[in-house]
Structure 1
């Protein structure tokens, strides 16, 4: 059997035996790489990064000086928290939305963070 044929059967078997969450994560990871973004699991503190993923959750963290809008972005490999300082809401930043974000990776409480990232809302199609 050719390598192409065995690859087809391996992918088919993977799709038939994996749960929906894993298949969704695989699709997100593949879409991210096709768009030229880095895998979140490969991003290191202090590096410039471009990540593409789906927003899992959005929340406002009230601070004494100013509120912050936080969104959890998942690309299929890892999560990155997007933080906009001094914002309560940004139109289009909502759960389920696909976003491409860029900035310098920081680490806060063991989690990867992009503060005030540049972002592009992606088409859902």
Structure 2
């Protein structure tokens, strides 16, 4: 018998506690990660459905660089939020940018047009206003 404080709280359980004590819970989690090939593979497999070896192969194919800007190191797995399918590896900024624009090609195009328009204005070139669709 162990004291109740040895069990982590969990509201989803009828007892309000995890069924395993903290050390047993940690041991089970470590065993699960080890079975999958380590914590990196465990994380990638659980979140994106790929192994660490597959991620490493993608990184090698991309020359270690972001698939969009091709300048910064590729450190983030980009995936389609609708299907969950992995697309490529991206740098922090490109991955975050896609997320902020909600992966919407029209909004990304509008943002690119906006930047080009204002870049030309700042250069002093006569520029027609951006097209409004």
Q: Same fold (TM over 0.5)?
A: no
Which has the larger Rg? 2
Q: Which has the higher contact order (CA 8 A, sep 6+)?
A: 1
User: Comparing both structures, which one devotes a greater share of its residues to strand?
Assistant: 1
User: Comparing both structures, which one devotes a greater share of its residues to helix?
Assistant: 2
> How high is the TM-score relative to the length of structure 2?
0.27
> How high is the TM-score relative to the length of structure 1?
0.29
